[in-house]
Amino acid sequence: MFAMNGFERQARNSAPGRSLLADCKDVRAQVRPNGTSMPAFRRSGLHAGPRPGEDGQALVEFTFVAVFVLLPLFTAIFTFGIAYSHQLTLTNAVGTGGQNLQLIRQNTSDPCKDTFSAITGAAPGLIASNIKMTITMNGNTPITNTGSANTCPGDQSELAQGKPNTITAYYPCNIAIYGHSFGNNCQLSATVTEFEY
């Protein structure tokens, strides 16, 4: 034999057709008729699942955001990333060309051609025909390449020991996003000054 607590007594005494709801925290019970809803739950706006007619609304909204905001944003990031990568490649290539010019001072008959070959060899990701180069040897008049020749024969005499040589290279960049160009005259450049051994 056992003693019934208040909850069991109330459950036993509840009328047929009525449900007994209990709050586990306070061990309080209330009796309500079957089939009735909880008005507080309805008024709170909490419901388990989407309302009728809202099933695909989130998908449609995400599609608009993706097409008109996210895709152009990601494309812009990738485009500027490619331009920045070209800038780093060009800077590294010009440095390599300057070091090569130091080493070949006494062994070259065409320093412009040899330097340009070193620059294009160090920049395989760039189109060689689009690279323009200017060399200033020993503070004299800058020699700018024209086309793919890049020759300056006879100027190796200007490569004097201890004298500076400045090499500048240019490369075009095209920053375009979905047909809209942002920088028609965009041009990357890198400069290095080396002193001859």
**pLDDT tens column, 22-59:** 445 555 555 555 555 555 545 455 555 656 666 678 88
Domain count, the chain: 1
Q: Is residue 38 part of a domain?
A: no
pLDDT given at position 149? 59
pLDDT given at position 1? 44
Range of the domain at 141: 60-195
Q: Is residue 138 part of a domain?
A: yes
The more confidently predicted of residues 64 and 33 is 64
* Four-residue CA torsion sign, 144, 146, 147, 153: negative
Q: pTM for this one? A: 0.65
Structural tokens at position 183: 């920088």
The more confidently predicted of residues 32 and 75 is 75
Q: Is residue 106 part of a domain?
A: yes
Q: Is residue 98 part of a domain?
A: yes
Q: Is residue 21 part of a domain?
A: no
Q: Is residue 3 part of a domain?
A: no
Q: Is residue 5 part of a domain?
A: no
191, 90 in Cβ contact below 8 A?
no
The whole-angstrom distance between residue 187's C-alpha and the CA centroid of its chain comes to 21
pLDDT given at position 127? 93
pLDDT given at position 65? 83
Q: Is residue 108 part of a domain?
A: yes
Quote the mean pLDDT of the chain: 76
Query: Residue 29 forms beta bridges with which residues?
Result: 22
